Chains A and B, each alone.
Chain A
Amino acid sequence: MRSNRGVRAGVVAVALVLAAGAAPAVAEGDGACNDGDACLYYNSNTKGARFDHRYNVANYAGYTFMRSPDGSSGTGAPVKNNAASVWNNDPTHILRIYYGSNYQGPVQEIGPKSTADLDPALKNNNASGSWTAQ
């Protein structure tokens, strides 16, 4: 049941990317939290399933959490409005997690090479994410 939902969400993700006319970037959601990535976790304290992205994401809709070395809880769940904590694994950029899609609404900033639990009002309300220089 749970994994079926994940598969369907994955199909939606591909469809959205194709509809947008953009080639899926290899670094987005490759499952590894590489140097330079933003890594969103399903559970607090950077635990559970994870979703990684390297570039700005105007809408987390369509992406799903993947099993990670930090746990499998939430595997296949949609990333949008489901993240509880974040690891900014970029050495120089600040990560901004927005309440609204398309970089709107209030924002929580996570510094370079830092982790944070999302603010209670933002937890399960993460809609988009972008990078900014200092």
Chain B
Amino acid sequence: MRPRRGPATIALLGLALAALAGCTGAGDRGGRPPAADGASGAPPPAAIPVTGDVTGLDLPIAAYLPTREQRARRSVAEAVLIRDCLARLGLTYQVPPAGDGGPVLKSRTERRYGVGDPVEVATWGFRPPGAGVGGTDKPSAPAPSRELAVALYGTAGADGVPPAPTEGVDRPGPGCLGEARFALGVDPTLERAALPSRLDVESFERSRADPRVRRVLAQWSTCMRAKGFDYPDPLAAGGDPQWATPAPSAREIAAASATVACKAEHDVAGTWYAVDVAYQRQAIEREAAALTRVRANEEESARRVAAVLGG
């Protein structure tokens, strides 16, 4: 049994983080030697963090995605521009702030390789802490009046026309929302192409099929079978339709606890994460030119947001 947290673990996590920052030199100083990879053509991971939970680790693609704070600032700027636009039309309206949504992920890696926190699963099974089973779990702002909806979106909203793909590049979209987004320089063609997001999902799929990940997943499956559960991987365990109950059953909690224990025993999260990171770094290199344009658009948009918010 390998200790889940200790000085060695932290050192390895540090190495993984250094690898994320682009310092590959220290990669093999303390990590387990990456297994040989004959078939997949994937680069070897710099270091494999030995940990049951990779929630605290981010992925390289995060550098090309707006942060939570940047998104929040942009939506505040958007609300300011919308308010001013509506005021010119003689309407008074303040875009409501977002209420509590569903489960908020602590990071992009929290549930990426299945559940990982032994304390959370003991209460919640496979569900995100605090999650209901649907029904009334999102507060909704009251729908705007017809007059307001037309001013805001150019249509009455319900069954209205979704925004067109090119609006915002050369011309504003309909309504005050379209005008605000045009002013903030949000390029919807880049948003729609969603390159960073695309690469993020792509590296997951590639890493899932990678022989190094398949090896630990097979070990995980064997470990699970010894505990009475039969699944190919942690996502399949968490997605079993029999967990669709109002509250987690004793069996769900047992299966989730076994999932976490077997992941830790065979370093599934650490291995998967390291291989995932390796594929992302490869993709970032391949798409460098396009990602530079994405970042330039984000920076220009951030400047316009700052101008609206007064610095």
| B188: chain A residues within 8 A (beta carbon) | 114
Could you say which of B102, B144, B235, B246 contacts A56, with CB atoms under 8 Å apart? Answer: B102
B99 pairs with A103, CB closer than 8 A: no
Query: Which chain A residues in 78-131 approach chain B with CB under 8 Å?
Result: 87, 89-94, 99-109, 111-117, 119-122, 127, 130-131
Q: Hey, which bits of chain B sit against chain A, CB under 8 A? A: 68, 71-72, 75, 95-105, 108, 111-112, 114-115, 126-128, 131-138, 140-141, 143-144, 149, 153, 157-160, 162-163, 165, 177, 188, 191-192, 194, 197-198, 200-202, 204-205, 234-235, 238-239, 241, 243-246
A133 pairs with B101, CB closer than 8 A: yes
| A35: chain B residues within 8 A (beta carbon) | 143-144, 149, 157-158
With an 8 Å Cβ cutoff, the count of chain A residues facing the other chain is: 60
By secondary structure, the A interface counts as loop
| Cα–Cα, bound, A10→B201 (Å) | 30
Extra 14 A-B pairs, beta carbons < 8 Å, given A131-B138, A133-B98: A28-B134, A33-B159, A34-B143, A36-B138, A36-B143, A99-B204, A102-B126, A103-B127, A112-B75, A116-B194, A117-B194, A132-B104, A134-B71, A134-B75
Known: A20-B246, A91-B95, A92-B98. A111 touches B191 (CB 8 A): yes
| Cα–Cα, bound, A58→B135 (Å) | 11
| A28: chain B residues within 8 A (beta carbon) | 134
Q: How far is the CB of A19 from chain B (nearest CB, A)?
A: 7
